[in-house]
Structure formats: structure tokens, C-alpha cells
Amino acid sequence: MNRIEDPDTLEAALTLIHSRQHISPKRLGEPGPDERQLAIILNAGGAAPDHRRLTPWRLVIVPAERRSLLAEAFAAALAERDPGAAEWQLQEARDKAYRGPFLALAIARLGVALGKTHPQERLIAAGCALQNMLLAAHAMGFGAGLSSGTSLYSPRLRQLFRLGDDEQPLCFLSVGTVTRGSTSKPRATMADYTSSL
């Protein structure tokens, strides 16, 4: 289907885009997507515009039984940048690794190795892939969000996720069931970002 003929269906598609909201991992509970639902969400990423079809992004899923590794990396990253961090702060850092039923790190290949496609284009492709995944999750009734934070850029995280020299961590993608709603924020409209030459 290349065009939505039915006005109601078109309205529904646009409503879907506009009603997507960032849902913080703190507000995501069980159930998360099952295997089939997850495949739909992740495969939506492959439909992103991707100049020269390089797939310059990848996701590393952090399953429940490996969350403790991420928790320790978050705590170690905090201790590295703030050697005086209190135990409760380290624990708070660890806790972040356990939020959300589905958690994955999104990574982009931004180094020179991929050749002619400018890193900026590759970053856009990765961002579009993430947006497709967010929209697919939202369409299926899940809440989803992207999260970053200073620890993302620590050597500990690079080590844990075995990032190559040409790779950069972008953000975490979390998906689950919304446990607490949020108030919608005013959004930019075309007047905020459009002008004519």
C-alpha cells in the first residue's frame, strides 16, 4: 500500500505519529513485547532511509539475566567520574539498568571506515531507524523511550558493549507497558522550523 485512500485510516496514521510520546524507562512495566511483537518493532528500523544502504546502526539487547553487567558498568562509570559518589548514588546508578522489560543500546557507525556516506547522514539514518521502532511500538500499544546520560560515553560502557573504534553509543531504547501516564507537552509546529528561501 503506497497511499492511504480511506480518510479515517489516514487520520489514524497521522494520529499515531502525533500521539507518540517519550515514556521514561521508570514508567515502563511488564509485559514487554513478546518475541513476535519485538520482531515487528525491530524490523521497522530496517525501513529507515539509509543512503547507500549501509545499515550504519545496530542494537545490542540487554536481556534480564545480563542486566547486572550493565548495572555494574553504570556504577563503575559514576565512580570514575565522581570518586566521592555515595553508596546510595551508586545504587541509584545500578537501578537504572533494571528499568523497562525491553532494553537495548543503539549504536551508530560514524567513523571513516564506511566511506563516502557522511557520518551525519549515517546518524540521520540511525535516528530514523529508532523513530520507526518507537512508532511501531506505539502502534502496538506499548510505551517506548530513548534515554542517554553521561555514563553512555564512559569507557566502561564501550567495553561492555564491545564498541568498535568507528562506533558511537547513541542512546538506550526501552519498550514496555506504560504504568504511569504523562502529561503531553507542547510540540514544535511547522512555523517553528520552516521558512522559505
Ligand X SMILES: Cc1cc2nc3c(=O)[nH]c(=O)nc-3n(C[C@H](O)[C@H](O)[C@H](O)COP(=O)(O)O)c2cc1C
Is residue 21 part of the contact set for ligand X (CB under 6 A)?
A: yes
Q: Which of 9, 68, 91, 148 binds ligand X (CB under 6 A)?
A: 148
The CA distance from 121 to 49, in Å, is 10
For 34-93, what is the HEC assignment?
Answer: CHHHHHHHHHHHCCCCCCCCCCCEEEEECCHHHHHHHHHHHHHHHHHHCCCCCHHHHHHH
Residue span binding ligand X (CB under 6 A) among the ranges 56-64, 83-91, 140-148, 154-162: 140-148
Among 28, 97, 171, 173, binds ligand X (CB under 6 A): 171
Q: Which long-range contacts (CB under 8 A, 24 or more apart) does 49-53 make?
A: 49/124, 49/125, 49/128, 50/125, 50/128, 50/129, 51/117, 51/121, 51/122, 51/125, 52/116, 52/117
The nearest distance, CB 108 to ligand X, in angstroms, is 10
Nearer to ligand X, 4 or 82 (CB): 82
**Can residue 146 be called a binding residue for ligand X (CB under 6 A)?**
yes
**Cα dihedral 58, 63, 69, 71 sign:** positive
Asked if residue 147 binds ligand X (CB under 6 A), the reply is yes
> Which stretch, 20-28, 43-51, 96-104, 157-165, contacts ligand X (CB under 6 A)?
20-28
**Residue 152 Cβ, how far from ligand X at the closest point, in Å?**
8
Which of 4, 11, 22, 141 is in the footprint of ligand X by CB under 6 A?
22
> Looking at 40, 117, 149, 166, which residue binds ligand X (CB under 6 A)?
149
Name the minimum Å distance from CB 186 to ligand X: 10
Q: Which of residues 68-127 bind ligand X (CB under 6 A)?
A: none
Work out whether 24 is an interface residue with ligand X (CB under 6 A). yes
Report CA Rg, the chain: 18
Instruction: Measure the CA–CA gap between 144 and 134, rounded to whole angstroms.
Output: 6
Which residue is at the shortest CB distance from ligand X?
A: 22
C-alpha cell at 82: 565522581
Q: Compute how many other C-beta atoms are within 10 angstroms of the C-beta atom of residue 117.
A: 16
User: What is the contact surface with ligand X in residues (CB under 6 A)?
Assistant: 21-22, 24, 146-149, 170-171
